[in-house]
Structure 1
């Protein structure tokens, strides 16, 4: 079987063939060898722990999964802005790149959590990446939100505030818009918001998904 080096490819396989062996195909010896050759031994150790947190929590409930993934990335990855890390003003890293570097900005934290939770079996319709304004710092920010049900206030997974809280308990965040693989929504503090068609606001997301789908080697930058 051809080894797949992208987490989105892993997700497609899990949906089609849900089993622990699928995860083993992704986290293969070849994967670790490639990761180590690009990022070093510390990256391999991070990836092993990433593998373990996904494998060990497959049967947990959603609340346990979102808390464990949120804790894992907030403690495993160190914040660094795109310009110093990638030499670009805005770069959305794949989860492999983020784990490999051990660093990332707010978008990278949210993206890694998003794909990891889907690989744990969380319904993608319950997850959205949300652009907000962080009012304490007065700057743009991205978080991941989880809807337990469509009519309830979503929970926020954030690298700035490590505790998973309902959006209604995060007055420091002003929602701007949210999106996932299915589309873009105007964000509201509560509820799903209004879907927006043909928006250019997710070009970085579309570029990331395209890179992951194509399995391009720069997912190992």
Structure 2
């Protein structure tokens, strides 16, 4: 399938695997899903999913910094495509399978895919934050993944705009606004410094993504 609008029925059929990725240390993509992706999106799409599956096994015992580098580089190979052109919606948060099957997504899709993959590799959830920022040079909203080795550390930033992973202190082009993971929601505006403001359930798009997962399993 060429890049463009993915129909809702096709999106729904790809969703169940994401729950597996979020709940176990390793993930296995079933043959039925791989066959479907190959039929609908081609052999290269299947190969991307198989490489994603093998990535976790290959890096299982690697240091965290190595895992960050591998995952960041892997997903940054995909094309940036805005949601209207790609999904036919103004703001759609895609699953990693959807991103890889279509070989494209926007900054939210990249960040979510990296977050879920690193969790599946054993990186603690409390060290990972999907972070909403303002990209100052582009003058637009943007999303990245931050890794905190300790709660008060200068986090490393995984970004689809650049392949190099740099500390947040070396990314003056990004102005943090808020961040979240499976455990909570934080304000990162100037003066707040990681002030917890609630649960990630406050974010409707995050709720929508998880609701689609549950619905797909019924």
TM range, smaller chain: 0.7 to 0.9
Q: Aligned runs of 1:78-157 on 2, under 5 Å? A: 78-157=79-158
4+ aligned runs moved over 4 Å, structure 1: 188-192, 198-201
Q: What is aligned with 1:17?
A: none
What are the superposed Cα offsets for residues 78-126 of structure 1, whole Å, 9 maximum, x if unpaired? 1000000011110000111111110000000000000000011100110
What are the superposed Cα offsets for residues 125-152 of structure 1, whole Å, 9 maximum, x if unpaired? 1001100000111100000000011121
Q: What is aligned with 1:174?
A: 175
The structure 1 residue matched to 2:17, chosen from 6, 12, 24, is 6
- 1:168·1:190 contact (CA, 8 Å) conserved in 2? no
Unaligned runs of 5+ in 2: 1-14
Q: Does 1:45 align with 2:47?
A: yes
Taking the aligned partners of 1:127 and 1:192, their CA distance within structure 2 comes to: 16
After superposition, the CA RMSD in angstroms is 2.2
Unaligned runs of 5+ in 1: 15-21
What are the superposed Cα offsets for residues 129-180 of structure 1, whole Å, 9 maximum, x if unpaired? 1000001111000000000111211110000121111100000000010011
- 1:158·1:164 contact (CA, 8 Å) conserved in 2? yes
Q: Does 1:27 align with 2:40?
A: no
Q: Secondary structure at the match of 1:36?
A: helix
Q: Aligned runs of 1:48-59 on 2, under 5 Å? A: 48-59=50-61
Taking the aligned partners of 2:91 and 2:167, their CA distance within structure 1 comes to: 28
Taking the aligned partners of 2:100 and 2:151, their CA distance within structure 1 comes to: 31
Taking the aligned partners of 2:203 and 2:19, their CA distance within structure 1 comes to: 17
Taking the aligned partners of 1:108 and 1:141, their CA distance within structure 2 comes to: 11
Q: Does 1:70 align with 2:72?
A: yes
- 2:147·2:156 contact (CA, 8 Å) conserved in 1? yes
Q: What is aligned with 2:203?
A: 202
**TM (normalized to structure 2)?**
0.86
**TM (normalized to structure 1)?**
0.85
Task: Name the stretch that deviates more: 41-50 or 117-126.
Answer: 41-50
